[in-house]
Each structure stands twice: as C-alpha cells, then as structure tokens.
C-alpha cells in the first residue's frame, strides 16, 4: 500500500493545488525547504494568490458510497485482505467498555463520557462528553456501521453552539463550540437537561479552540462514511460551519496566516508554553478548512465568499507551515548559522530567531533522515518541541507534502525509543524541567517532567499514528505500536496516560477506563484491518501536485 491508498479520481473541478502549483513546485524542486532563497510573501503578486478561486473543492461528494456497511466508501485495497483479522481478546472488552461510557439525552445516545473511573475520588469534569474526546468514539461507531450516535452528537453540539456564551461579563464569539457538555437527569421530574462548558468553568478558563475544528472534521467523517449528504447540507450545519470559520478567517492585525491562540487551547488544556501558534491548532485549522471546503454549498453570495476566503487562507497557511514550521537536518543547520537583526524583505532569518536559543537536545534528536513540524513559530521564538497530534494531523490533512509526511514517519522510526518507548505515544518531546518547568508551566504539579502533557504517553494517540502510518504506507510501524499497547492497556485498566521517559508507569493522576484510550485502540485496530476506513479521516494530496520521488538530499548525508 502506498500514499495513494484510498485516493479517488476526481476531475470535475479544480483544486487548491492549481493555486498551490507555484509554491509546491518550488518546494518540491528544493525539498530541503531552504527558506533562504524563498521569496517573502509581500514580494509575491496578488495574481499568484488568486488563481483558480472558482471552485476549490478538494474532495467531492460524488465519490461517497452510501450504505457500504459503515465502510469509508473506498475499495478495500488488496493488501488488506492479506491481513486476515483475528480479533484480539481485548477488542471485545474495549467495545463493552466503550458502550458503558455512552451518554443518553431523552432516550437517544448523544456521546461518550471522558472516563468511567469508579475508583477515582475526584470526578472533576471527566463525567462530561468532551468534543475532542468523542472523536475516536465517533470514528469507532462509524467504522462499526453505527452512525446514529454521531449524528445525534453533531446536532446536539450544534444546538449548544447557539447558546449565548459568557465568561463573567464577557460574551464569546457566536461560533464557539463547547469543550464539553453534560446531561443532567432528573429522576423525579423525568427530565433531561444539558449543561455545556465553553471554557467558563474549565480549569484555568482555557478556550477550546480545537472543538469547532473537530466538529467540522467529524461532520465530514460522518458524511463520507454514511453517504448521507443531508446532514452536512442542512441549513443548520451550513450555518454552524460558517460561524466556526468566521471566528478564524476575520482580518485583523495578524501578519501570519496561522491562528493566534492562548495557552491550553486544545488537547493540552493547561499552561504548557503552547501559546502563540501551536502546531496542534494549525494542523486542525488546515484540516477543518479543507473539510469545510468539501461540504460548503455555494448557492448564494455568502457561501461563495466563504469558500473564496477559505481557499486564500489554505494557500497562505500551507506556504507558511511548510516553510517556517518545518525542521529537518538541513534546516536546523541553516538556523544554527543564521545572522540576526536583518531588516527588510531580503531577510533570511525572517522571525529574527537567535541561534543561541536553539536547545541542545534538538541537535542530538534530529536524525540525518527525517523531519517534523515544530511546536510554534513567532517573532524570535521557535519552540522546537515535537508534538504528536499536530504532526499526525498534518499527515492526514496533507498539510505536509508527501516528502514531509515520509520524513515525519522516518523521524518516528529513527527516534522510536524517545517517542514511543514502551507505550505509544508521547504527546510531546522532550519534557521541560527545573527552572524552565517553573517558568513555562507556572509550577504545575500535574505537568512535571515526563508526565501528563509534559512528555507523558497517551494511548489515545495510537489511532492517529496508525492512520498516519497507513497513509504513508507503513502499516508495520502501526502494528508495532498496537502490540505495545496490547501488552499493557487492558491489564492496566485503560489509563488516560503513562509517565516516564519510556512511558512505563501508569500516569500519576491518570484516570482509568478513559474512553478515548479505549476508542483510540478500537479505531487503530479497525483501520489496520480495513485500511479503507482511513478515507473518513484523511484528505488526499493535491492532485495537481507533481509526484515526488526524489528524497531530501539531507537524507543522504
């Protein structure tokens, strides 16, 4: 199986790749992404930015295959039939546990709670349905041919979006989607009521920037899996999508196409030094834009304008990410030799990064062959940490070029002990400690080194790395990771996260029976069994893009 797995031939309309052609061919000819010789944005003519805005659907409806038994609508690649699938004994247990986490509203299943941990004294908000946590549950249900719960969830959260949202006296944007919600059952009056949290109750009052993106991504997964276009095309879903996008596409003071965020705005939902332009949000933003593009109707001026804005943003965003967030051996060497204090368009070191700020660990960590999107880029600041979710979503959304996707997988293989160790997968690498930990986390006792968000290992990430492996044609890596998970997860009671440099210890404050650990395992297993499922959660490469066979010359050093 190769990177073409699950790709469909669509010829009916142009794609963003037509616009991207200029950039992409430059990048592909010079795979080292040597930013020295790239022209800066302002040098580029407007016409370059606006070619082919007509209809930039990257993904058309015409290839949905309705009712394919919950399958993703692709022909199952021949290779998957070779992997005859013996259900692992853990699978039955996982399904049973997943079903125990179901939440009902007026008799209908509407989501799964974050953890069904009866031993934990502190419930906090783990009894809520988190939007991000529900994604792997939703995928598991879709892959199993049970789409109703996903539809109910999408509609329920859409309804919550319509609420007036306030933190103290401050009103939040209309499009904001909740981080989580809860169903209150009143057994006496026999009523169900919903309560939602948009950040106004969350620890630290963090903003769930990722929720809206996941909602759009899930809407596409549902549509793709079921072939039911009516939900995505309904006026309420069209409006919901536009409201989410309005929050991110507005023009302002920004000088970058990336999305500026406060700390703790995503899966890492507490202070961890990810404020600015965190990779997780940028990758989800890119993916949500592409998913929205495939679902938005253009039957009125508003729809057309929205699509036009999306296309322009995608163009700028991919350029920015592929150039400035990308790090490989060559790029690291270039930054190491940067001059500083350069003014004007000719600047090579555009963000004025001081080479002395490059942390020592990254020189050893960087393999000769391989690369990744770094954690954050802003004036004089590059966060060189590796983050799993952002890099996997970059592969799935094709934010990374095919070469970059291969390089990300090469890095995971080359740094297996560091990134996977004994439990897939580290949320971030490396951990921050001592003085830096005090400053960056505000002395957070939950985020001590190699724990939780600070270099902890999260089983939920297994589904993402498995999907990335399948997309890049490396199912054997996924198999290795799944085997590691199978040796511990059930025995340990499906923990939320593991601690330690190798991920050997059940996390200090980890919940047991954490739903997304369970669902993530199931999704990983089902995708490996039938790789055609990948289509629900993956977007193909730009079709216009020239096939890349050449490898980065830095890999041959």
Output the smallest distance, CB 266 to ligand GLC, in A: 7
Instruction: List, in sequence order, every residue forming a beta bridge with 170; answer none if it has no partner.
Output: 167
What sign for the dihedral angle of Cα 64, 65, 67, 71?
Answer: negative
**Would you call 179 helix, strand, or coil by DSSP?**
coil
Distance CA 456, CA 448 (A): 9
Output the smallest distance, CB 262 to ligand GLC, in A: 15
Conformation bin of residue 99: beta by default, left when phi > 0, alpha when psi is -120 to 50: alpha
Output the smallest distance, CB 103 to ligand GLC, in A: 14
Distance of CA 393 to the CA centre of its chain: 4
Output the smallest distance, CB 427 to ligand GLC, in A: 9
Closer to ligand GLC by Cβ: residue 269 or 418:
269
Cα 515 to Cα 14, 81, 102: the distances in Å are 40, 29, 10
x/- track of binding to ligand GLC for residues 62-101 (CB under 6 A): ----------------------------------------
* Strand locations in 288-391 (E): 326-328, 371-378, 381-387
Closer to ligand GLC by Cβ: residue 52 or 495:
495
By C-alpha distance, which of 375, 354, 489, 474 is closest to 427? Answer: 375
C-alpha neighbours within 13 Å on the C-beta side of residue 90: 23
Task: Tell me: does residue 322 bind ligand GLC (CB under 6 A).
Answer: no
Task: Name which position in 5, 17, 72, 132 contacts ligand GLC (CB under 6 A).
Answer: 132
Task: Name which position in 23, 59, 117, 133 contacts ligand GLC (CB under 6 A).
Answer: 133
Task: Tell me: does residue 267 bind ligand GLC (CB under 6 A).
Answer: yes
**Which of the stretches 125-133, 228-236, 238-246, 361-369 binds ligand GLC when contact is defined by CB under 6 A?**
125-133
Task: Name which position in 64, 74, 105, 130 contacts ligand GLC (CB under 6 A).
Answer: 130
Closer to ligand GLC by Cβ: residue 269 or 403:
269
Cα 192 to Cα 113, 182, 195, 293: the distances in Å are 16, 10, 10, 36
Tokens for 108, please give them. Answer: 């209908």
By C-alpha distance, which of 306, 313, 304, 305 is closest to 285? Answer: 313
Tokens for 478, please give them. Answer: 């996924």
Tokens for 294, please give them. Answer: 């495939």
What sign for the dihedral angle of Cα 160, 164, 166, 170?
Answer: positive
**Are the CB atoms for 152 and 109 separated by under 8 Å?**
yes
**Are the CB atoms for 494 and 512 separated by under 8 Å?**
yes
**Are the CB atoms for 139 and 519 separated by under 8 Å?**
yes
Output the smallest distance, CB 485 to ligand GLC, in A: 18
**Which of the stretches 126-134, 289-297, 366-374, 474-482 binds ligand GLC when contact is defined by CB under 6 A?**
126-134
Cβ neighbours around 548 below 10 Å, total: 20
Task: Tell me: does residue 513 bind ligand GLC (CB under 6 A).
Answer: no
**Which of the stretches 49-57, 105-113, 127-135, 359-367 binds ligand GLC when contact is defined by CB under 6 A?**
127-135
**Are the CB atoms for 444 and 270 separated by under 8 Å?**
yes
By C-alpha distance, which of 543, 557, 547 is closest to 15? Answer: 543
> Cβ-closest residue to ligand GLC?
114
Output the smallest distance, CB 144 to ligand GLC, in A: 22
Subset of residues 407 to 466 that bind ligand GLC, contact rule: CB under 6 A:
none
Subset of residues 151 to 170 that bind ligand GLC, contact rule: CB under 6 A:
none
Task: Tell me: does residue 177 bind ligand GLC (CB under 6 A).
Answer: no
Task: Tell me: does residue 59 bind ligand GLC (CB under 6 A).
Answer: no
Output the smallest distance, CB 133 to ligand GLC, in A: 5
**Which of the stretches 130-138, 155-163, 169-177, 500-508 binds ligand GLC when contact is defined by CB under 6 A?**
130-138
Q: Helices then strands (H, E): number in the chain?
A: 20, 13
Task: Name which position in 56, 103, 114, 310 contacts ligand GLC (CB under 6 A).
Answer: 114
Closer to ligand GLC by Cβ: residue 520 or 531:
520
Closer to ligand GLC by Cβ: residue 517 or 552:
517
Size of the site for ligand GLC (CB under 6 A): 6
Output the smallest distance, CB 52 to ligand GLC, in A: 38
**Which of the stretches 129-137, 316-324, 360-368, 480-488 binds ligand GLC when contact is defined by CB under 6 A?**
129-137
Task: Tell me: does residue 263 bind ligand GLC (CB under 6 A).
Answer: no
Closer to ligand GLC by Cβ: residue 210 or 328:
210
Task: Name which position in 269, 328, 403, 499 contacts ligand GLC (CB under 6 A).
Answer: 269
Task: Tell me: does residue 519 bind ligand GLC (CB under 6 A).
Answer: no
Distance CA 551, CA 370 (A): 10
Closer to ligand GLC by Cβ: residue 112 or 466:
112
Write the burial class of residue 121 (CB in 10 Å: 0-12 exposed, 13-18 middle, 19+ buried).
exposed
Output the smallest distance, CB 537 to ligand GLC, in A: 18
Output the smallest distance, CB 398 to ligand GLC, in A: 25
Cβ neighbours around 88 below 10 Å, total: 15
Residues engaged in binding ligand GLC (CB under 6 A): 114, 130, 132-133, 267, 269
């Amino acid at each position: 199986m190769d990177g073409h797995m699950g790709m469909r031939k669509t010829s009916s309309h142009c794609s963003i790749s037509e616009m991207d052609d200029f950039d992409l061919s430059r990048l592909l000819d010079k795979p080292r992404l040597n930013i020295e010789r790239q022209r800066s944005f302002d040098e580029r003519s407007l016409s370059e930015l606006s070619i082919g805005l007509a209809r930039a659907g990257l993904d058309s409806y015409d290839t949905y295959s309705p009712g394919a038994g919950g399958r993703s609508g692709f022909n199952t690649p021949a290779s998957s039939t070779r992997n005859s699938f013996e259900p692992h004994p853990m699978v039955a247990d996982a399904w049973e546990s997943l079903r125990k986490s179901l939440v009902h509203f007026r008799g209908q299943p509407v989501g799964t709670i974050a953890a069904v941990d009866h031993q934990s004294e502190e419930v906090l908000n783990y009894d809520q349905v988190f939007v991000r946590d529900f994604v792997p549950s939703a995928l598991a249900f879709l892959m199993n041919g049970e789409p109703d719960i996903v539809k109910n969830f999408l509609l329920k959260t859409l309804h919550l979006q319509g609420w007036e949202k306030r933190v103290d006296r401050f009103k939040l944007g209309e499009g904001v989607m909740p981080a989580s919600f809860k169903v209150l059952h009143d057994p006496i009056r026999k009523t169900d009521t919903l309560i939602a949290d948009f950040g106004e109750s969350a620890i630290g009052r963090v903003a769930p920037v990722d929720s809206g993106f996941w909602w759009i991504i899930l809407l596409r997964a549902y549509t793709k899996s079921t072939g039911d276009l009516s939900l995505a095309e309904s006026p309420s879903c069209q409006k919901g999508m536009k409201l989410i996008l309005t929050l991110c596409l507005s023009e302002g003071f920004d000088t970058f196409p990336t999305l500026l965020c406060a700390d703790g705005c995503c899966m890492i939902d507490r202070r961890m030094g990810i404020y600015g332009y965190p990779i997780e949000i940028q990758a989800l933003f890119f993916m949500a834009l592409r998913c929205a593009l495939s679902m938005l109707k253009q039957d009125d001026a508003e729809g057309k304008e929205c699509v036009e804005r999306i296309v322009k943003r995608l163009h700028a965003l991919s350029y920015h990410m592929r150039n400035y967030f990308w790090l490989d051996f060559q790029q690291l060497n270039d930054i190491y030799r940067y001059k500083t204090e350069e003014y004007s368009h000719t600047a090579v070191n555009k963000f004025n990064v001081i080479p002395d700020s490059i942390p020592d660990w990254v020189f050893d960590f960087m393999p000769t062959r391989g690369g990744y999107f770094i954690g954050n880029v802003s004036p004089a600041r590059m966060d060189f940490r590796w983050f799993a979710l952002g890099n996997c979503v970059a592969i799935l959304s094709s934010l990374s070029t095919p070469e970059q996707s291969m390089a990300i997988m090469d890095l995971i293989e080359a740094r297996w002990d560091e990134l996977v160790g004994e439990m897939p997968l580290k949320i971030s690498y490396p951990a921050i400690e001592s003085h830096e930990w005090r400053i960056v986390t505000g002395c957070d006792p939950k985020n001590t080194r190699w724990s939780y968000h600070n270099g902890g290992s999260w089983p939920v990430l297994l589904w993402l790395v498995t999907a990335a492996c399948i997309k890049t044609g490396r199912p054997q890596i996924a198999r290795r990771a799944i085997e590691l998970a199978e040796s511990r997860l059930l025995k340990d009671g499906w923990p939320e996260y593991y601690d330690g440099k190798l991920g050997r210890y059940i996390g200090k404050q980890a919940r047991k029976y954490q739903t997304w650990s369970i669902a993530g395992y199931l999704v990983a297993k089902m995708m490996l069994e039938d790789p055609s499922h990948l289509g629900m959660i993956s977007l193909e490469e730009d079709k216009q893009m020239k096939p890349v066979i050449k490898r980065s010359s830095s890999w041959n050093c």
